[in-house]
Amino acid sequence: MVKDYTQESCRDFIAALVSSAPAPGGGGAAALVGAVGTALGNMVGALTVGKKKYADVEAEIFALRAKCDALQAALMDQVPADAEGFEPLARAYGIPKDDPDRPRILEQATLAACEAPMRIMALCCEAIEAIAAFAEKGSRLAVSDAGCGAAICKAALLSASLNVFINTKPLKDREAAVALNDRADAMLDKYVPMADAVFEKVRAGLR
């Protein structure tokens, strides 16, 4: 059974990353980092609600906070999910090369290993959208945290994409590989610039 490192300390997670164990790896790290970035955006919301100055956007901020609560939980769940998705692939690579079932098992395991990082990417995209709204409408006293959240979620998005691409590259089913790559590229093309725009706007406002 895969160990859920979200139940351990930050130091335990780092120690697991630096070890020779196949998981957690880049996907799990991306999921955890995405949750951290989302939480920073959510903190802006926490510092906005209840303030008279922001009464006109309070309902929207409450809704964004609820959305981010769900995104944070989903991203944390992807830490063990990514490990669970990778374990069959790690085992498949250990199958003797002369086993006639190896190519089929390896192909299936490789496709399955794409699922968690694709999910992490989608969740990070939703988080970036929410953070953009927090940066625009949330407390000016915490706007730097929205900028940080956008930058961190962008890093998580980019990191998760590499965990997709490393698995699509060896796929024999090139149609499936192209479809996955296209989905990942579409998310990068839209949400990396969005995160950059949030960061740059926050930076400009602080100088």
Q: Is the pLDDT of residue 11 over 90?
A: yes
* pLDDT tens track for 166-193: 999 999 999 999 999 999 999 999 999 9
pTM for the predicted model, two decimal places: 0.95
C-alpha distances in angstroms, 78 versus 47, 60, 120? 27, 27, 7
* pLDDT tens track for 82-107: 999 999 999 999 999 999 999 999 99
Confidence at 3, pLDDT banded by 50, 70, 90:
confident
Q: What number is the average pLDDT over the span 130-147?
A: 96
Q: Given this model, what pLDDT does residue 164 score?
A: 98
In the chain, domain spans: 25-205
Residues 6+ apart with CB under 8 A from 159: 26, 27, 29, 30, 33
Residues 6+ apart with CB under 8 A from 196: 150, 154
- 3-class secondary-structure state, position 139: coil
Q: Given this model, what pLDDT does residue 1 score?
A: 67
C-alpha distances in angstroms, 174 versus 39, 101, 167? 37, 20, 12
Closest CA to 25 of 105, 153, 120: 120
Q: Given this model, what pLDDT does residue 62 score?
A: 96
Regarding the domain delimited by 25-205, which CATH topology (the fold level of the hierarchy) does it fall under?
Four Helix Bundle (Hemerythrin (Met), subunit A) (1.20.120)
Confidence at 21, pLDDT banded by 50, 70, 90:
confident
Q: What number is the average pLDDT over the span 54-71?
A: 97
Give the span between the Cα atoms of 7 and 132, in whole angstroms: 29
Give the span between the Cα atoms of 72 and 32, in whole angstroms: 9
